[in-house]
Amino acid sequence: MTLRAVLFDHDGTLVDSEPVHHRIWNQVLAPYRVTIPEDLYQRHYAGIPAAANAEDLVRRYGLDVAPAALTEAKNAATRAFLARAAFPLMPGVPEALEELVRLGLRLAVVTGANGHGVRATLAAHGLAHRFCLTVSAEDVARSKPAPDCYLLAARRLGLEPGQCLALEDTQHGLEAAHGAGVPCLALPTPMSRHHDFSHALAVLDGLAEAVQHIRRTLGGQGQAGGRP
């Protein structure tokens, strides 16, 4: 199918937020005398929605707190962080967005995270005008790695899943895209480089390489430099 849209994950793809999320989780867990080691966070928690992480943490550490309460504590701490700061962008984000728009592609954010974080990112960095759609955890019954968010994004864009291309930095995000029938480029970070990306179209080193891959794809479809 002809490529029409690029669907960006948020955490780890648009923004370098996983180290921040790790620190926030450890702040939330401090009253329970629990600290998540970095290697454990990378293996089990990076790229996973807060609610799923909370359920795992309660089980793993035998915490005397309801997962929903732990999730809300994490979300509240994240909102407090975003009220005074913004997640830093991943390298090359503004340039990549500009080029993809120039190539005539529609852009969307498809995340398993809370939509507040996405809105804060786009507002803080002046990028909201680049995206025509955001799908976040509040929009679906099942978040990543379920395919629901990608299926919803394609439907709202009026496109077939195969007309979209996902950019993801984690195995769970890749599984969501793959399950929805959306081709995916994997952009691993130090937090996710050990993940299984066998379902990806390609495993690339950052957004600049992803844009090059997309440009070649459009050239092969006779689209480069024009509206799809």
* H-only helix segments in 45-167: 50-61, 67-84, 93-102, 115-124, 148-157
Amino acid at 28: V
The catalytically annotated residue of 9, 11, 148, 169 is 9
B/e letters for 211-226, b = 16+ CB within 10 Å, e = fewer, are bebbbebbeeeebeee
Q: Which residues contact 59 (CB under 8 A, 6 or more apart)?
A: none
Q: CB burial class (10 A; 0-12, 13-18, 19+) of residue 61?
A: middle
Return all residues near 99 (Cβ < 8 A) that are at least 6 apart. Answer: 211, 215
Element (H, E) at 18: helix 18-29
Question: Residue 65: phi, psi to the nearest 5?
Answer: -155, 145
Sheet of strand 202-203: strand arrangement: 133-135, 106-110, 5-8, 164-168, 184-186, 202-203
Active-site annotation holds for 9: yes
Where in the sequence numbering do the catalytic residues fall?
9
